[in-house]
Structure 1
Amino acid sequence: MAKRHNEHMSISDALKEFIETNKLEKGLDKVNIAKAWENLMGNGVNNYTTSIKLERDTLYVQLSSSVLREELSYGKQKIINMLNEEVGKEIIKKLVLR
Structure 2
Amino acid sequence: MAKRHAENISIGDALKEFIEKNRLEKGLDKVNAKEAWDKVMGPAISKYTTDLKLDRETLFVQLSSSVLREELSYGTEKIIKLLNEELKKELIKKLVLR
Query: Counterparts of 1:15 and 1:46 in 2: how far apart (Å)?
Result: 30
Q: Which runs of 4+ in 1 moved over 6 A?
A: none
For normalisation by structure 2, the TM-score amounts to: 0.98
Structure 2: segments with no counterpart, 5+ residues: none
SS in 1 for 2:62: strand
Superposed, 1:77-96 pairs within 5 Å as 77-96=77-96
Query: Counterparts of 1:74 and 1:21 in 2: how far apart (Å)?
Result: 40
Q: Percent identity?
A: 70
Superposed, 1:1-98 pairs within 5 Å as 1-98=1-98
> 1:14 offset after TM fit, Å?
0.3
> 1:44 offset after TM fit, Å?
1.2
What is the number of residues matched between the two proteins?
A: 98
**AA aligned opposite 1:71:** E
For normalisation by structure 1, the TM-score amounts to: 0.98
RMSD over aligned Cα, in angstroms? 0.6
Structure 1: segments with no counterpart, 5+ residues: none
